[in-house]
């Protein structure tokens, strides 16, 4: 495709960077240079530039506070911003509020840093420390994949805050609590780091590994564009990139953003690329957030398929030099079309793709797993109570009647199987679990118990793969963290060698899960 405006964009970038050398030649760094270094997550350089400034000012104090927030030192930021001149200023007031709340939320937190691997964790609940090796794996692989695809690397260390609840996530990130609760937000990329809700906070877990990769992508795009990327590009790329760091997993194909975007468009429920507001997490409902994610994901996939990753990297580079209002100019530069033109082409491609197809309703496309009506909820609750009191087979029998109507649901199949497993009935366990091909939805317990079943048949490789999938969804549940094993159950299953997994980090995870996942 034609490329019209490359030279002006690259010239703008070269001018933007021309100030970098001025400080090195002896002149005093400017506030703009300091601010840019912080935004670029070049935090050591930002600190060096600040130290070279001889003339103190309120604006310089604000940048010192912002740098402290970026490195995770909320106490120092809070101390700086207690000055009335700063705390009551238009720029300082929101920072002061954030720093104060962050300092309170992180008091007593545990810092874990691996300088060799370039990762830094602040852990609100020390029991989550067992997740650090698993998080590190995802961070290193995700950062490498994003650097390859997007052309920008993250400076080390890569910082992650691991928090125990949404209150802390809101306090540390600045995201309004109500917005996080409304849209089900579990992670935020802000202030140069990932702020992640502990998997223990979600009763049925969530795909926390892909979530980490998603948020890392936000950091990379923000650094590549100096935070001048529009929200549709940020979120579209994050969704596109969140699984590229790993191999294909079961149920990946269930997510159909093209179908969701098309049905939402046809039924008048679309959100629109330019109607996302300040954050998808601040949209009015989980459904609106899901539709918005599908739209931006579908659009980005369409754009990349036609233009390729080299054009994407050029677009990110151009946005860095063009600034916050340069989206159309950057798009025309690399592709010849404005956002409005691309929006029309994308919508037309969806119409052509699905014109002869009858698609499911939007609720079905957005849904996942069984709907817990009163009958199912009662059966699940009774089964859970019976199981916790050691009535294994009886707990499974309570689930079997509703399972016959929802045989594709892993949530129910796991509950139907675990009682048989608890009493050592391997045949009953196998029947209740079924095969992966029988399922319509994933469940950590199904993966873990099926893996244990395969391991008992000496199918070690297949079992370990399923254990990995279980940990990827709910690592601090006992059945997932302990590879399909559990304690405090009936004596029959103890004969199947209930114990701790092999390997130091797997055992640490299992121990942490057992300390937390107890009847309450």
Separation of alpha carbons 136 and 156, rounded Å: 13
> Which pLDDT does position 167 carry in this prediction?
94
Cβ-contact 417, 438 below 8 angstroms = no
Share of the chain above pLDDT 90, in %: 71
Beta-bridged to residue 158, according to DSSP, are: 119
Three-state secondary structure of 163-198 = ECCHHHHHHHHCCCHHHHHHHCCCEEEECCEEEEEC
Higher pLDDT, 324 or 172: 172
Residue by residue, DSSP assigns 279-338 as -GGGSSSHHHHHHHHHHHHHHHHHHHHHHHHHHHHHHHHHHHHH-TT-HHHHHHHHHS--
> Which pLDDT does position 281 carry in this prediction?
83
Separation of alpha carbons 138 and 419, rounded Å: 34
Residue 142, pLDDT above cutoff 70? yes
Residue 244, pLDDT above cutoff 70? yes
Tokens representing residue 109 in the block: 């937190």
Three-state DSSP state, 120: strand
Give 92's contacts (C-beta < 8 A, 6+ positions apart).
Answer: 58, 62, 65, 81, 85, 86
- What's the CA dihedral at 483, 442, 288, 331 to 10 degrees? 90
Higher pLDDT, 15 or 222: 222
Residue 122, pLDDT above cutoff 90? yes
Lowest mean pLDDT among 285-289, 329-333, 349-353, 443-447: 285-289
> Which pLDDT does position 325 carry in this prediction?
85
> Which pLDDT does position 8 carry in this prediction?
34
Once rounded to an integer, what is the mean pLDDT over residues 232-256? 94
Residue 495, pLDDT above cutoff 80? no
The highest-level CATH class for domain 108-225 is alpha beta
Higher pLDDT, 389 or 77: 77
> Which pLDDT does position 24 carry in this prediction?
46
Lowest mean pLDDT among 105-109, 235-239, 511-515: 511-515
Q: Are strands 119-123 and 110-114 parallel, antiparallel or unpaired?
A: antiparallel
Cβ-contact 153, 143 below 8 angstroms = yes
> Which pLDDT does position 5 carry in this prediction?
34
Lowest mean pLDDT among 5-19, 258-272, 385-399, 486-500: 5-19
Residue 82, pLDDT above cutoff 90? yes
Cβ-contact 5, 332 below 8 angstroms = yes
Cβ-contact 294, 230 below 8 angstroms = no
> Which pLDDT does position 312 carry in this prediction?
96
Give 368's contacts (C-beta < 8 A, 6+ positions apart).
Answer: 254, 441
> Which pLDDT does position 488 carry in this prediction?
58
> Which pLDDT does position 17 carry in this prediction?
38
Query: How far is residue 389 from each of residues 395, 422, 423, 479, measured CA to CA in Å?
Result: 9, 12, 13, 17
Closest CA to 302 of 248, 239, 371: 239
> Which pLDDT does position 370 carry in this prediction?
55
- What is the average pLDDT score of the chain? 89
Residue 1, pLDDT above cutoff 70? no
Alpha carbons within 13 angstroms on the beta-carbon side of residue 178 total 2
Once rounded to an integer, what is the mean pLDDT over residues 117-146? 96
Residue 21, pLDDT above cutoff 50? no
| Residue 11: band (very low, low, confident or very high) from pLDDT cuts 50, 70, 90 | very low
Cβ-contact 398, 383 below 8 angstroms = yes
> Which pLDDT does position 368 carry in this prediction?
56
- Helix (H) / strand (E) containing 113: strand 110-114
| Residue 26: band (very low, low, confident or very high) from pLDDT cuts 50, 70, 90 | low
| Residue 371: band (very low, low, confident or very high) from pLDDT cuts 50, 70, 90 | low
The pLDDT tens digits of the residues spanning 447-493 come to: 999 999 999 999 999 999 999 999 999 999 999 999 998 885 544 44
| Residue 286: band (very low, low, confident or very high) from pLDDT cuts 50, 70, 90 | confident
Residue 497, pLDDT above cutoff 70? no
Separation of alpha carbons 430 and 442, rounded Å: 17
The pLDDT tens digits of the residues spanning 149-168 come to: 999 999 999 999 999 999 99
Lowest mean pLDDT among 12-16, 234-238, 338-342: 12-16
Query: How far is residue 247 from each of residues 168, 229, 468, 501, measured CA to CA in Å?
Result: 32, 28, 12, 24
> Which pLDDT does position 490 carry in this prediction?
45
The highest-level CATH class for domain 374-516 is mainly alpha
Higher pLDDT, 423 or 148: 148
């Amino acid at each position: 495709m034609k490329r019209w405006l490359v030279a002006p964009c690259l010239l703008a970038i070269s001018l933007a960077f021309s100030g970098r050398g001025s400080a090195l030649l002896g002149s005093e760094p400017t506030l703009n240079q300091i601010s840019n270094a912080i935004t670029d997550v070049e935090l050591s350089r930002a600190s060096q530039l600040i130290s070279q400034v001889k003339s103190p000012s309120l604006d310089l104090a604000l940048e010192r506070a912002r740098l402290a927030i970026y490195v995770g030192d909320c106490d120092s930021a809070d101390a700086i911003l207690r000055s009335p001149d700063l705390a009551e200023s238009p720029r300082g007031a929101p920072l002061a509020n954030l720093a104060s709340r962050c300092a309170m939320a992180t008091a007593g937190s545990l810092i874990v840093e691996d300088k060799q691997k370039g990762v830094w964790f602040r852990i609100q609940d020390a029991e989550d420390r067992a997740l650090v090796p698993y998080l590190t794996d995802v961070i290193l692989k995700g950062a490498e994949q994003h650097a390859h695809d997007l052309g920008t690397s993250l400076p080390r260390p890569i910082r992650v805050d691991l928090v125990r609840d949404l209150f802390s996530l809101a306090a540390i990130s600045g995201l309004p609590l109500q917005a996080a609760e409304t849209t089900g937000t579990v992670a935020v990329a802000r202030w140069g780091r990932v702020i992640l809700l502990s998997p223990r906070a979600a009763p049925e877990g969530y795909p926390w590994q892909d979530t980490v990769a998603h948020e890392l992508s936000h950091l990379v795009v923000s650094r590549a564009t100096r935070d001048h990327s529009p929200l549709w590009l940020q979120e579209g790329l994050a969704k596109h990139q969140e699984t590229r760091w790993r191999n294909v997993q079961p149920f990946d194909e269930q997510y159909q953003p093209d179908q969701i975007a098309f049905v939402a468009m046809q039924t008048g429920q679309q959100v629109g690329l330019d109607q996302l507001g300040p954050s998808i997490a601040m949209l009015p409902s989980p459904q609106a957030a899901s539709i918005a994610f599908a739209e931006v994901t579908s659009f980005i996939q369409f754009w990349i398929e036609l233009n390729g990753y080299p054009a994407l990297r050029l677009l990110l580079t151009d946005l860095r030099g063009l600034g916050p209002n340069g989206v159309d100019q950057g798009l025309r530069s690399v592709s010849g079309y404005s956002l409005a033109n691309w929006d029309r082409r994308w919508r037309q491609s969806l119409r052509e793709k699905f014109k002869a197809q009858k698609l499911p309703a939007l609720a079905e496309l957005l849904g996942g797993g069984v709907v817990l009506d009163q009958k199912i909820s009662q059966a699940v609750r009774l089964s859970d109570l019976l199981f916790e009191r050691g009535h294994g087979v009886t707990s499974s029998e309570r689930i079997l009647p509703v399972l016959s109507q929802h045989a594709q649901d892993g949530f129910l199949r796991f509950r139907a199987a675990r009682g048989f497993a608890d009493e050592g009935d391997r045949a009953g366990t196998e029947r209740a679990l079924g095969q992966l091909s029988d399922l319509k939805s994933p469940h950590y317990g199904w993966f873990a118990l099926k893996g244990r079943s395969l391991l008992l048949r000496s199918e070690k490789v297949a079992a370990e793969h399923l254990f990995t999938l279980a940990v990827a969804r709910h690592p601090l549940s006992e059945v997932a963290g302990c590879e399909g094993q559990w304690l405090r159950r009936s004596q029959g299953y103890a004969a199947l060698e209930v114990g701790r997994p092999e390997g130091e980090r797997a055992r640490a995870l299992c121990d942490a899960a057992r300390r937390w996942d107890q009847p309450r």
